[in-house]
C-alpha cells in the first residue's frame, strides 16, 4: 500500500481501521491482502500491494454515507489520488 514517500505500515492501517472503519460498521467487515494495478492521472501504470475492505450493509443512506466517508478519509490520511469502491447487491444470511 503505497503513499507518497513510502508505504502505509501495518500499524497505520490498523489504526485507520480502528478509527475510521470499525466505529461505522460495528457489526463487522472483512479485510484481505491483495495485489492491484491502476493508471493514475499522470498516465503511469502502478502495481502495488493493497488491501480489500468488504462491507456488507443494508442499502440505506446512512451506510452509503459511512462507506463514502471511509474512502474519503483514506484518501486524505494517506494522500491517495483515488480509492476504488465497488458496490453490488447480494443476498446473505447468518
Identify whether 43 is part of a domain: yes
Place of cell 508505504: 7
- Expressed as residue numbers, the domain containing 45 is 2-77
Identify whether 15 is part of a domain: yes
List C-alpha distances in Å: 13 to 29, 31, 50, 89: 15, 11, 11, 27
CA dihedral (71, 74, 31, 1) in degrees, to 10, reads 130
Is pTM beyond 0.75? Reply is yes
DSSP state of 15: H
Residue 47 confidence (pLDDT): 93
Q: How many domains does the chain have?
A: 1
Residue 70 confidence (pLDDT): 98
Selection from 53, 52, 76, 65 nearest residue 24 by Cα: 65
Q: Please give the chain's pLDDT, 94 residues, in tens.
A: 888 889 999 999 999 999 999 999 999 999 999 999 999 899 999 999 999 999 999 899 999 999 999 999 999 999 999 999 999 988 878 7
Amino acid at each position: 500500500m503505497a503513499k507518497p514517500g513510502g508505504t502505509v505500515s501495518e500499524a497505520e492501517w490498523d489504526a485507520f481501521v480502528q478509527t475510521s472503519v470499525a466505529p461505522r460498521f460495528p457489526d463487522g467487515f472483512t479485510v484481505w491482502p491483495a495485489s492491484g494495478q491502476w493508471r493514475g492521472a499522470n498516465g503511469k501504470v502502478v502495481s502495488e500491494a493493497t488491501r480489500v475492505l468488504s462491507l456488507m450493509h443494508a442499502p440505506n443512506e446512512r451506510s452509503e454515507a459511512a462507506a463514502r466517508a471511509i474512502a474519503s478519509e483514506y484518501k486524505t490520511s494517506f494522500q491517495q489520488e483515488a480509492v476504488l469502491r465497488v458496490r453490488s447487491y447480494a443476498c446473505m444470511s447468518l
